[in-house]
Chain A
Amino acid sequence: MLTVAMLALGAWLALVKAPPEREMGDVYRIMYAHVPLVQMALLAATINCACSVVYLIRASWRTDSLAEASAEVGLVFAVLGTALGSIFGRPTWGVYWAWDPRLTSMAIFIVAYAGYLALRRFVDDPEKRAVWSAVAGIVIAVDVPIVYFSVRWWKSLHQVQSSTKTVDPAIYWPLRANILAYFLLFIVFLGIRYAIAHAARRRETTVPEPAGSLSRAVAS
């Protein structure tokens, strides 16, 4: 309920309370959903990478389940965030899509995590699946800093990250409220998806492994 209330408050701040932007007018209100969605996608990818590293060091179905959950939730947020960015681009840039560094690296992000989830579906052995997807999770996480810094490293249609020094408080406080609301939604989605993934692991591995046994199994 808190999450729904925060999302409703965030939407009201974004669509009603926040003033029009100096140049973009009302179109910029898309930013209040676009930015949090993409931020949560990058957070999910970071969690996925961390779980992948931890799994290879000390294997556990819990980290594997969290890796799976974060990849799927992150992919949903990334697709929606990119779709909103595309709609935002039409009135502000004149095009829905351009192969500029930010958009291209984000497209790679989406394809990579879709491939990661496909890999998880194609491998039946849960231990092989966990190891292979952990390696894939670490490799594709290379794209996360590229997405974030692409607007600074290369010339891009996309603006660089704003800060409290460059944005009026009447605009950034609604943004912060929306980031919090989408973060709560992200946590809810991640928790539920984790429970689903962990239940699936339990079904696949009928006997829960004692601590450390999976590590030895993977190492061997």
Chain B
Amino acid sequence: MVLAAVGEGRIQGGWEYVRAAYGIAWTGMTLYAISLWVRWPRGERQ
């Protein structure tokens, strides 16, 4: 039976890891979006 191969118990808590992960992801994407905005070729024909 497949379930027999699965361990018992569950990781408790761990929201600090979730917050850190989403914080890094959103901060990283925001900084990259800002870098694109800064580099945008203003005044040039696209």
Contacts and interface: CB of A to CB of B under 8 A. Distances in A.
Interface of A: 11, 15, 20, 22-27, 29-30, 33-34, 37, 76, 79-80, 83-84, 87-88, 90-92, 185, 189, 192-193, 195-196, 198-200, 202
Contact of B40 (A22, A83, A196): A196
Contact of B9 (A23, A26, A79, A84): A23
B17 A91 contact: yes
A199 B11 contact: no
Contacts of A92: 11
Which of B9, B18, B22, B24 neighbours the largest number of chain A CB atoms within 10 Å of its CB? B18
Contacts of A79: 28
B4 to A, nearest CB: 14
7 contacts: A23-B9, A30-B21, A80-B28, A83-B21, A83-B28, A90-B17, A196-B36
B34 to A, nearest CB: 12
A175 to B, nearest CB: 15
Contact of B22 (A33, A76, A185, A196): A33
Contacts of B24: 80, 83-84, 87
Nearest to A89: B17
Interface of B: 6-7, 9-15, 17-18, 20-22, 24-25, 28-29, 32-33, 36, 39-41, 44, 46
A202 B44 contact: yes
A25 to B, nearest CB: 4
Nearest to A87: B21
Main secondary structure of the interface of A (DSSP, over half): helix
Contacts of B12: 25
Given A25-B12, A199-B41, A15 B22 contact: yes
A48 to B, nearest CB: 17
A189 B33 contact: yes
Given A84-B25, A87-B17, A192 B10 contact: no
A107 B24 CA distance: 18
A189 B40 CA distance: 12
A29 B11 CA distance: 12
Contacts of B32: 76, 189
A199 B33 CA distance: 18
A186 B13 CA distance: 31
Contact of B10 (A11, A23, A87, A200): A23
Contacts of B11: 23-27, 91-92
A80 B17 contact: no
B9 A88 contact: no
